[in-house]
């Protein structure tokens, strides 16, 4: 379909000499910038419209994740278990970390599984943008779908590992109580925090390529500061004789708060003075981190929405 | 499918009598882009205004700095980029206006910025300088990046459709059509990693062409599959082109461009070297 008319048009066009800037022309015909950040409420609505994609993408990634290893999905449970076994050996038996803790295996396992959920989400979130540049450069969707999908992927895996955790906790001699009904609440709050943290780290990871190298280092420090294999109160105040506020500050870190609350629920002998209820400081910290991280995470990620394709 | 066939038959009926729909008379701007672009007929759908695109490319890390946390910390603290990081200025000041009904071919050598330009029009790459204005949301024809090799064809169809923004109802409607068009039959139950390259290409094309668009950008989609499928896909492209308002086509096959486009832009090293009638531009391009 070649048109001789075009040549005529070219000639005609050459003859005209109005001086309208292109931006004005675009405005007159109601054209919008191809890459414009939608307003925040619109953005959230677009994300909601993409929920099917987010869910399907998360599920697909889960299906393919261990497809090359012989044990497949079992690794999801084996990894935290093996980690817990090493820590039990190192800190529980050799260094005597569990001396003042009545049910140390349950204490350690709860800490390990809860911390792993947040740690994995943060690590995956850091790669969610930088590892999907080809998709971002080919398709249109609210970019927050990617870190969200990665968090949901971890949530799906958590469903399996939570089941294992509960079975193991029962094996250590803790019987289910009505307080177990609070488990989904804690996990919901933790998921809210994880989504927010994933979004923040995704934006950082999109531009700071070195973040992936740094992250193992950061998460390990975080692991040690969260009292996963020792009691913060016992080690920091009783043994190291540091002031109480240091321990309190450590308990206020999101990972430690979620772990503490979960331990209160699962382990009868954990802080028996509170019963199965979390201390006010712990649950308030959990709620604060969940709401703050979710709100801030979306806002922070959205601010850079139009720049993610550059790499 | 019914909708598409209807459109196709309508298009066929239209063709001999009214080629005018495609043959929109439009001004072809000079490469300098200084002249005004008010269309004598038709409304502009895509305006590219002095567009610059800069890519960041990362080279492989050297042995000295590989995965060392301490090095990473110092680099972050000093706010240094990696020494291997390069900026590639892929598009350097491109200006043009596309009108409703235009089918614009983009030609140029490898690395002349064709694909980058398309992505910028689609709003997928942020401009370094300048702007792209569009009517609605232009879409690239291609979902390859969203598909996963380890998944079955079936799951990939669903995933790809969602990635293009379809609703579950639309996915259910289109599913059988996609399977039929791709012609992969019972292989749809097997992982895509077991497909031959031709089969994979056919499925990808079938998925990505299942959606209709207002402004469509096609990047070398024609050279896929065997001869029979190629015919089928060329027909499908024509069909999509007729239902879309404006089409951009990047292809190395100049014959295809000459056949389907009413305007050709020749990109050379990120700049527009020529813009106008397909015959003239392609003749000039062939000369070098």
Select from A138, A152, A214, A307 the residue whose CB has the most chain B CBs within 10 Å, as the one to mutate to test that interface.
A138
pLDDT at A97: 67
B49 touches chain A (CB under 8 A): yes
What are the CA-CA distances from residue A199 to residues A72, A81, A146, A189, A207 (Å)?
Answer: 28, 28, 9, 16, 13
Residue A126's Cβ-side half-sphere holds a number of Cα atoms within 13 Å equal to 17
- The size of chain A, in residues, is 311
Task: Kindly state whether A273 is in contact with chain B, defined as any CB-CB distance less than 8 angstroms.
Answer: no
Which of A11, A13, A37, A59 to mutate to test binding with chain B, by most B CBs within 10 Å of its CB? A13
A178-182, A296-300, B73-77: least confident range: B73-77
Chain A residues 5-24 within an 8 A CB cutoff of chain B: 5-10, 12-14, 16-20, 22-23
What is the structure's pLDDT at B85?
66
Cβ contact B117:B98 at 8 Å: no
Q: Which residues pair with B246 in a beta bridge?
A: B215
CB contact under 8 A, B25 and A52: no
Cβ of B86: how many Cβ atoms within 10 Å?
A: 12
Sorted by sequence, the CB contacts under 8 Å of residue B6 that are 6+ apart come out as none
Put simply, whether B116 touches A (Cβ < 8 Å) is no
Nearest to A18 by CA among A31, A33, A28, A8: A28
B134 with A29: Cβ contact below 8 A = no
In this prediction the ipTM stands at 0.77
pLDDT band at A121, cuts 50/70/90?
very high
The answer, yes or no, to whether residue A104 has pLDDT greater than 50, is: yes
Measure in Å the smallest separation between the Cα of B181 and chain A Cα atoms: 22
The length of chain B is 288
Per-residue pLDDT tens for A88-100?
788 777 777 667 7
Residue A197 confidence class, pLDDT cut points 50, 70, 90: very high
Tokens of A222: 């975080």
More confident residue, B121 or A4: B121
C-alpha B155/C-alpha B161 separation (Å) is 10
Phi, psi of B218 (to 5 degrees): -115, 125
Residue B16 predicted with pLDDT over 60: no
Burial A28-61 (b: 16+ CB within 10 A, else e): ebebebbbeeeeeeebeebbeebebbbbbbbbbb
In sequence order, what are the residues at sequence separation of 6 or more whose Cβ sits closer than 8 angstroms to the Cβ of residue A79?
A116
**Range from A13-27, A151-165, B49-63 carrying the lowest mean pLDDT:** A13-27
pLDDT tens track for A251-310 = 889 999 999 899 888 887 777 777 777 788 888 899 999 999 999 999 999 998 888 876
Q: CB–CB of A6 and B135 under 8 A?
A: no
pTM for this entry: 0.76
User: Which pLDDT value is given to residue B7?
Assistant: 39
pLDDT at A254: 92
What average pLDDT score do residues B203-215 get?
80
> Can you give the pLDDT at residue A108?
86
Average pLDDT, chain B: 74
CA distances from A177 to A161, A183, A243 (A): 20, 11, 35
The answer to whether residue B286 scores a pLDDT higher than 60 is yes
């Amino acid at each position: 379909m070649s048109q001789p008319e075009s040549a005529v048009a070219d000639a005609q066009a050459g003859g005209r000499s109005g001086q309208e800037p292109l931006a004005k022309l675009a405005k007159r015909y109601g054209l919008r910038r191809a890459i414009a950040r939608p307003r925040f409420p619109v953005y959230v609505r677009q994300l909601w419209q993409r929920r099917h994609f987010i869910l399907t993408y998360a599920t697909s990634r889960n299906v393919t994740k261990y497809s090359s290893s012989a044990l497949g999905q079992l690794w999801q449970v084996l990894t935290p278990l093996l980690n817990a076994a090493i820590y039990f050996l190192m800190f529980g038996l050799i260094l005597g970390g569990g001396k003042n803790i009545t049910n140390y295996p349950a204490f350690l396992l709860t800490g390990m599984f809860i911390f792993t959920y947040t740690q994995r989400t943060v690590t995956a979130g850091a790669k969610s943008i930088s590892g999907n540049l080809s998709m971002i450069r080919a398709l249109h969707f609210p970019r927050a779908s990617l870190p969200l999908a990665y968090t949901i992927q971890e949530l799906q895996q958590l469903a399996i590992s939570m089941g294992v955790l509960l079975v193991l906790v029962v094996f250590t001699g803790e019987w289910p109580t009505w307080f177990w009904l609070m488990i989904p609440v804690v996990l919901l709050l933790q998921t809210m925090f994880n989504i927010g943290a994933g979004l923040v780290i995704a934006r950082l990871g999109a531009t700071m390529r070195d973040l992936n190298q740094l992250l193992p280092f950061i998460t390990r420090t975080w692991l040690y500061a969260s009292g996963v294999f020792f009691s913060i109160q016992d080690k920091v105040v009783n043994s190291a004789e540091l002031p109480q506020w240091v321990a309190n500050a450590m308990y206020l870190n999101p990972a430690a708060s979620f772990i503490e609350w979960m331990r209160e629920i699962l382990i009868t002998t954990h802080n028996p003075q509170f019963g199965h209820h979390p201390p006010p400081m712990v649950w308030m910290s959990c709620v604060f981190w969940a709401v703050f991280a979710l709100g801030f995470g979306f806002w922070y990620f959205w601010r850079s929405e139009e720049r993610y394709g550059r790499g | 499918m019914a909708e598409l066939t209807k459109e196709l038959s309508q298009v066929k009926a239209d063709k001999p009598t009214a080629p005018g729909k495609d043959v929109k008379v439009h001004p072809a701007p000079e490469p300098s882009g200084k002249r005004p672009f008010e269309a004598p007929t038709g409304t502009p759908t895509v305006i590219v205004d002095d567009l610059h695109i800069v890519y960041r490319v990362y080279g492989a890390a050297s042995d000295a700095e590989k995965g060392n946390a301490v090095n990473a910390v110092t680099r972050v603290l000093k706010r240094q980029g990696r020494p291997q990081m390069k900026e590639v200025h892929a598009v350097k000041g491109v200006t043009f206006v596309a009108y409703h009904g235009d089918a614009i071919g983009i030609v140029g050598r490898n690395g002349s910025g064709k694909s980058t330009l398309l992505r910028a029009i689609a709003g997928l790459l942020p401009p370094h300088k300048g702007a792209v204005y569009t009517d609605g949301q232009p879409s690239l024809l291609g979902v390859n990046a969203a598909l996963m090799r380890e998944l079955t064809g079936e799951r990939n169809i669903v995933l790809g459709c969602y990635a293009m923004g379809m609703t579950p109802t639309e996915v259910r409607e289109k599913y059988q059509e996609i399977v039929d068009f791709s012609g992969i039959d019972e292989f749809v139950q097997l992982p895509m990693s077991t497909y031959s390259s031709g089969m994979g290409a056919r499925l990808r094309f079938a998925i990505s062409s299942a959606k209709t668009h207002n402004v469509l950008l096609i990047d070398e989609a024609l050279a896929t599959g065997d001869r029979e499928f190629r015919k089928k896909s060329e027909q499908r492209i024509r069909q999509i082109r007729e239902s879309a308002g404006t089409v951009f086509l990047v292809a190395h096959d100049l014959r295809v461009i000459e056949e389907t486009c009413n305007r050709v832009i020749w990109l050379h090293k990120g700049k527009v070297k020529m813009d106008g009638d397909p015959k003239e531009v392609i003749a000039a391009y062939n000369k070098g």
